[in-house]
Chains A and B, each alone.
Chain A
Amino acid sequence: MLSIQNLHARVEEAEILKGLSLDLPAGEVHAIMGPNGAGKSTLSYVLTGRDGYEVTQGSATLDGEDLLSLEPEERAARGLFLSFQYPLEIPGVPAMTFIRTALNAQRKARGEAEVTAPEFLKLARETAKQLRIDFDMLKRPLNVGFSGGEKKRMEIFQMAMLSPRLLILDETDSGLDIDALKIVADGVNAMRRPDRAMLVITHYQRLLDYIRPDRVHVLSAGRIVASGGPELALELEREGYDKYARAA
């Protein structure tokens, strides 16, 4: 599914990613853990194509196709979805309008027919129910005046509506209380499928109690410095990142 080889990237003049390599096969959930400043958010922005993040070396491919040469919207149409650490507010655009615009833009890019309004409404109602989102919230401008938890739930809602193949969750647990965390995790777990992969980026182990990863990678100073099973997350929780910071 996703293959990253020797990826180097910089923001302005600072090199943040320094030879990151990672293989994420379809059907698996991998966690990336690391201390602040390790390059976790940079990785998610490089993969999604944000301006200002310059790749200087290496590659990233999705099912063999070069991701890095594509525009952000082209990557989205190929099934890449990033759940933002800080979702943006979109004043004046109701959530429903925004998501339908996005879904139809993706479908158009893939040469598929647009979804009709009744089809979309039906799908939205069902998905909102599963995620325990008040349907009226979807009529309000996206994320404007929403609490941190509501914004994260809206990210998962969009994820479910857009049905991507490769999901990146960037610090999805931040700002969530335990009840909201469970709802979000249930939503994510419901999306696990053999043809879908997830990259869960987190600072704390807590989220991984609810979204069980197949593999855990430690990101430190711009590289993966250790990889292992779920037990690695517990070890990090116990012992901290110090020894990896030294290793980097």
Chain B
Amino acid sequence: MSLSAALRDRDVAQLPSRRDEDWRWTDLRALIRELPPASPEAPAPANPGPFGDLGEAEVMVVNGRVLGEAALLRLPPGLSRTLRLRIVSAAAETSHGVRLSVELGEGARLTLLESHEGLAAGYLADAELDIKLAKDARLDRIVLAGDEAEAVSVNTAEVELAAGAQLAQTVMTTGAKRQRIETRVRHPGQGAHVRMDGVYLLAGRTHADLTSGVTHAGLDGTTDQLIKGVVADQARGVFQGRITVAEGADRTDARMGHHALILSDRAEIDAKPELLIFADDVACAHGNTIGALDEDAIFYARQRGVPEAQARALLTEAFVGEVIDRIKDEAVREAVRAWAAERRVG
């Protein structure tokens, strides 16, 4: 059951629904009675995209068609590169999907600046990334998901890591009518490290679902996950995080945190953090908190002269800032911060 299979076979029966446990909060089947027609070809947009001119090259995908050179996403051993991957949806009420491979040879380093840009209303978009990291390779994947508010969008990454490989991922999203961003990681242990962060900033009637699964299969692996969310109005945030530590994957260190601010009575957050541990000698922890802005802190700021709206914005920005601060590259970090500041909620 997946959106990509439904698009391939033009068959709504293959859409995931609430009957699939992993999709119970993001039901596509009930939402989509009929698949919209396939999207037409379209030229690359003239605007520079949210990462501007950061990076050395760009891979452009418009309406499911690769316009740039997808081969840039395959790095030979030892090479280091920063790339923009722009996935653009530019035709209203149509559907499209794309599947891309990202391969990093031994010791290669890629900073992937991935943006999902909704330039039309009500499209249905699917994107799948197959990501393979050879020994000691490192991928920094930064995703800015700026789908249009009436769109339905699913973005799935399957990641396979070799020993010593590192994945550092930060996903930022403002949601869509229904949106799912899913990351599955096969973690070999053996010194490999995963940092998998995310922020959802939701207002209006938007919906964002951050789902992830990391399976530790070998000794000495680490995973560190921090997800933060802010939801206002009638928006809905979903976080499903599963970390599995397989039998024998001893000395695994896995940490998961999900913290959200809920700014309205009609907003909703559904969270399902899961640690499945089948090994003996592990250090695993998870924390999950959902609350409102601290009204005492807001009064304190106002007493110092900060107007109420500005005080709320300051505290909200600081709340998600903790995730953004974990992005290593300064120029990228500040681009992400600016993106989030423009999409402030509440």
Contacts and interface: CB of A to CB of B under 8 A. Distances in A.
Interface of A: 48-51, 71-73, 75-77, 81-82, 84, 87-93, 98-99, 101-103, 105-106, 109, 141, 158, 162
A98 B303 CA distance: 12
A92 B301 contact: no
A93 B315 contact: yes
Contacts of B315: 90, 92-93
B342 interface: no
Interface of B: 294-297, 299-308, 310, 314-315, 317-319, 321-322
A45 to B, nearest CB: 9
Q: Name the 5 nearest CB pairs between A and B, nearest first.
A: A92-B318, A76-B305, A106-B305, A102-B304, A72-B302
A82 B303 contact: yes
A94 to B, nearest CB: 9
Contact of A76 (B297, B303, B317): B303
Q: Is the contact region of chain B dominated by helix, strand, or loop, or is it mixed?
A: helix
Given A75-B303, A88-B300, 6 more contacts: A50-B299, A72-B302, A73-B305, A91-B322, A92-B321, A92-B322
A88 B299 CA distance: 9
Given A50-B299, A51-B299, A91 B307 contact: no
29 contacts: A49-B302, A50-B299, A71-B307, A72-B299, A72-B303, A73-B302, A73-B308, A81-B304, A84-B300, A87-B300, A88-B294, A88-B296, A90-B297, A90-B315, A90-B318, A91-B322, A92-B317, A92-B318, A92-B319, A93-B314, A98-B301, A98-B304, A101-B314, A102-B305, A103-B305, A109-B305, A109-B307, A162-B304, A162-B305
Nearest to B299: A50
B305 A51 contact: no
B319 A91 contact: yes
B313 to A, nearest CB: 10
Contacts of A77: 305
B299 A89 contact: no
A49 B308 CA distance: 12
Contacts of B322: 91-92
A50 B298 CA distance: 10
B308 A71 contact: yes
Contacts of B317: 92
A91 B300 CA distance: 13
Contact of B310 (A84, A101, A103): A101
B306 A102 contact: yes
Nearest to A141: B318
A239 B32 CA distance: 79
Contacts of A102: 301, 304-306
A186 B230 CA distance: 43
Nearest to B319: A92
Contacts of B310: 101, 105
A71 B314 contact: no
A162 to B, nearest CB: 7
A71 B310 CA distance: 14
Contacts of B305: 73, 76-77, 102-103, 105-106, 109, 162
A141 B325 CA distance: 13
Contacts of B299: 50-51, 72
Contacts of A101: 306, 310, 314
Contacts of B301: 90, 98, 102
A72 B295 CA distance: 13
A71 B300 CA distance: 13
A97 B96 CA distance: 45
Given A90-B315, A92-B319, A71 B304 contact: no
Nearest to B302: A72
Most buried by A among B294, B302, B303, B322: B303
